[in-house]
Chain A
Amino acid sequence: MSACDSALPPADSTDAADARLVALVAASQPSLRAYLHSLVRQSADVDDCLQETNVVLWRKRSEYDPARPFLAWACAIARLQALAHCKRVARRDHVPFDDELFARVAAAAAQHVENQEERLRALRQCLEALPPRYRQLVDQRYAAGKPVREMAHALELSAEAVSMALYRARKQLLECIQLRLARESQP
């Protein structure tokens, strides 16, 4: 465990504020992980970037304005970590780095994080409407946490077939979510 490298706070420091920030950081992990995954892609790289993001969030905790949405601030920091990582990889592989594409993906991912409340509500309804066959697959993969290979073995299918079926299930959920959001936005 690494200690924060900032100086010891005075005796009347905002311990409660620190604890609140810790709670917010902890609660933001799923959203930050999704955000970083869009940019960094490899699971191990996502883990590394998320760890680095958490450290920076802690180091810069005095800069956080509680009056502003936490996730927007956290994503901005995560974006910088992801950017640094992607540039390192590009340098290592001797390929140019596409700033424009990175910025587009980062913007789209940040938008998803901002809208997560509405999307979450829509997702819950859409899960109920998912065909039983797809719902079963989704439950096995996400609720039971079974790896695709294990599911494939149990279903006597190839891993590729199961991956594609899961993809179709997610696609159906996405279409349903978009439809519901569109309806909700109508006057």
Chain B
Amino acid sequence: MTNRDDSVPELPLGSPLGAPRSADEQLTGLLAAATEGEWSAEQSRQLDALLTAHPRLVEAYVAHVALHHVLAWELQTAGSEPPARLSPVAAAEAAASRGDRPVPSVYRSATTLAGWAVLAVCVTLMAMAWLNLPGSLSADDDIVAVLLESEDAVWSGEEFVLPFGMPVARGQRFQLQAGLARLALEAGAGFVVEGPADFTLLDGRQVLLQQGRLVAHVPEGADGFTVVTQTAEIVDFGTRFVATVDDGNATDVYVLEGEVEARPLWDAGRARRLTTDEAVRIGADDLQTPATVVAHDTLPEPPRLDQLLLYRPWDAARASLRLAADGPPAHTPPAGPYTAPDLKVNPAAADTIAHESFAEATTWPLPADSGWGFAPTAWQATPGYVSLLSPPRAWPLVDGAAARQVVALGGRAPGDPLLANRLSRRLADSQSGELWFRFFGCYEGLDDNDFFVLWFDHNARFDASHAGAPSVGIKQGRFLARIDKPHETYGPAAVDGQPFELVGRLSKQASRNYNRLVLWIDPRRGVDTPPDVATEFEPARGVGMITHIGIRLGQDTEADDRLLLGALWLGPTRQSLYPAEKDIQP
């Protein structure tokens, strides 16, 4: 709801062509646009004015929004339940009143959109419940695996996130339409599944793979891990293999390392023992040796040993995202009052889109109204990996003033998800035009396989790589700018522990998506120089609207690496990035 506008005139109904639109017509226009996308501030204001002036339209508005959601639930569940099915809540209440075991129906109908949408909540709440129980879970509990992490996962057609560390019950089925999911099993093995895939956890050492590609990692002591398909049973005797079930239900098995036994379900006597680099294809009634060789670099990476060891000895109650061992370092906030700059007063910064100096709070997390130009929600951070620090001695002056505080983002510790998203925040207003940015940073512990990016995307999922979004950062020891992976351009070398200032411009050249990115490193204010890095590429699926910014570190960073982040600005022009500067030429 926005402001009440008492001056809105009564609008005529059924206006002739060329006359002001009627209230109903106005509502039609607003609902048609907003149901499918995001409301702009202006649309929201118009709606408020309309509903205030014409209270009878409130019912129409609410009915339309409600129908939009009911259609989504209803059509996704169509055909998967008995015809006399109730709404989810009625079914749950009916089950409760009968005294049924209160297992959410989503475990039985996991193919439905609503099922998956509520599963995300359900397992989170159930995990909260489990964490409250004294001691660890009993041997009677049917938790057989843990979701270690996911990457850009799309579950059953919707891009919601299943939480890392989510316990997985015996018999739980997953339909992964895209992306990756890594799981650790009770018996010690782990696997990654690449969507599109359909798989079920049969128990702590058996997986039913009905479709998709699975790469297993079976460390010592966990042999006997088995993948069952419609045509075969694959038993691992250590350590890594690939199982793929295609649309025709044939099963391809390829051994990366170690030994497996592949048994046709239709004739166990024709089982084959396979060793490293050997393969077999098991169809409905035949068995072949494929001629093609699997390229290892095309395979998704299975869980690492450090991730699997995290859950040994197996204890389902510990199935949660591990915090950094020592927690964030102690920080003494700087003394004295801090007055945030009033950017709106400074005409040179009148059009600054967003600004954050991390200077206003005394502890992390920062409050929801920290900074300027962001949505009224706080910075989203990975617990235990983000903290406030006093800036290092080498930190440069920022617009003539010493930085008050910086944010420190920790590297990846053993056992952590490979995707080390650390920080993100939503902008108050979505951006689709030319976007300038400026921020101060410093990477401590930099070596050649370290990596970080500041990305600009239309979502802030913590399991997303944001590899399809424009980003800038450091990779292989050099500054980089990329429209998407792998279309990236490298610039000068970065120096371990040396603060840097990055200024960049993200734009669209005859495209609906951002396809051009230029970057200056430690630019001199007021001096117009060619960019240090420039990249231009038309992505197949790009980003046309930016709603979030965030930072991700690489999977090969070390636990004691730190990326320090100082102040940052976003604006439509270069001039808007320098509040105290009036004469910068764009």
State the A residues within 8 Å of B (CB).
1-4, 6, 8-9, 11, 15-16, 18-20, 22-31, 33-35, 37-39, 41-45, 48, 54, 58, 66, 69-71, 85-86, 88-90, 92-93, 95-98, 100-102, 104-105, 108-109, 111-113, 116-117, 119-120, 123-124, 127, 138-139, 141-145, 148, 159-160, 163-164, 166-167, 170-171, 173-174, 177
Contact = CB atoms under 8 A, between A and B. Distances in A.
A1 B124 contact: yes
Interface stretch (B128-136, B246-254, B257-265, B351-359): B128-136
Contact of A23 (B38, B64, B75, B102): B102
A26 B62 contact: no
Interface in B422-444: 426, 428
Given A54-B125, A69-B93, 5 more contacts: A15-B129, A19-B126, A27-B88, A90-B2, A143-B75
Nearest to A161: B32
9 contacts: A11-B134, A22-B126, A24-B92, A30-B69, A34-B69, A44-B375, A92-B428, A101-B51, A120-B87
B156 to A, nearest CB: 9
B33 interface: yes
Contact of A105 (B37, B51, B75, B125): B51
Sort A-B residue pairs by CB-CB distance and give the 4 closest, nearest first: A26-B122, A27-B88, A34-B69, A95-B3
B65 interface: yes
B62 A109 contact: yes
Contacts of B527: none
B541 to A, nearest CB: 10
A154 B104 CA distance: 37
B352 to A, nearest CB: 16
Nearest to B368: A88
B52 interface: yes
A3 B369 contact: no
Contact of B104 (A1, A6, A26, A69): A26
Nearest to A119: B70
Contact of A22 (B4, B117, B122, B320): B122
Contacts of B157: 144-145
B33 A160 contact: yes
A3 B127 CA distance: 8
Interface stretch (B53-61, B294-302, B569-577): B53-61
B114 interface: yes
B102 A19 contact: yes
A173 B72 CA distance: 14
Residue from B52, B96, B376 whose CB has the most chain A CB atoms within 10 Å: B376
Interface of B: 1-4, 28, 31-39, 41, 44, 47-48, 51-52, 55, 58-76, 78, 86-93, 95-96, 102-106, 113-114, 117-119, 121-122, 124-129, 131-134, 157-158, 163, 165-166, 320-321, 368-369, 375-377, 426, 428, 547
Please classify the interface of chain B as helix (H, G, I), strand (E, B), loop, or mixed, using the class held by over half of its residues: helix
Nearest to A159: B36
Nearest to A138: B71
B561 to A, nearest CB: 25
B105 to A, nearest CB: 7
A45 B90 CA distance: 27
B128 A124 contact: no
B376 A92 contact: yes
Given A2-B128, A3-B132, A34-B70, A117 B78 contact: no
A155 B480 CA distance: 39
B544 to A, nearest CB: 9
Contacts of A171: 28, 64
B1 A24 contact: no
A96 B113 CA distance: 38
Given A27-B88, A43-B38, A109-B66, A92 B131 contact: no
A28 B89 contact: yes
B476 to A, nearest CB: 34
Contacts of A15: 129, 133
Nearest to B91: A27
Contacts of B1: 39, 86, 90, 97-98, 101-102, 105
A119 B62 CA distance: 13
A170 B62 contact: no
Contacts of B60: 174
A160 to B, nearest CB: 7
A121 B529 CA distance: 66
A125 to B, nearest CB: 12
Contacts of A71: 89
A37 B66 CA distance: 8
B460 to A, nearest CB: 8
Contacts of A120: 70, 74, 87
Contacts of B68: 34, 37, 170
Given A34-B69, A163-B35, A117 B90 contact: yes
Nearest to A95: B3
B117 A1 contact: no
A177 B67 CA distance: 10
Given A23-B104, A123-B70, A145-B158, A30 B114 contact: yes
Nearest to A66: B96
A48 B121 contact: no
Contacts of B124: 1, 54
A34 B69 CA distance: 6
B90 to A, nearest CB: 6
Contacts of B320: 1
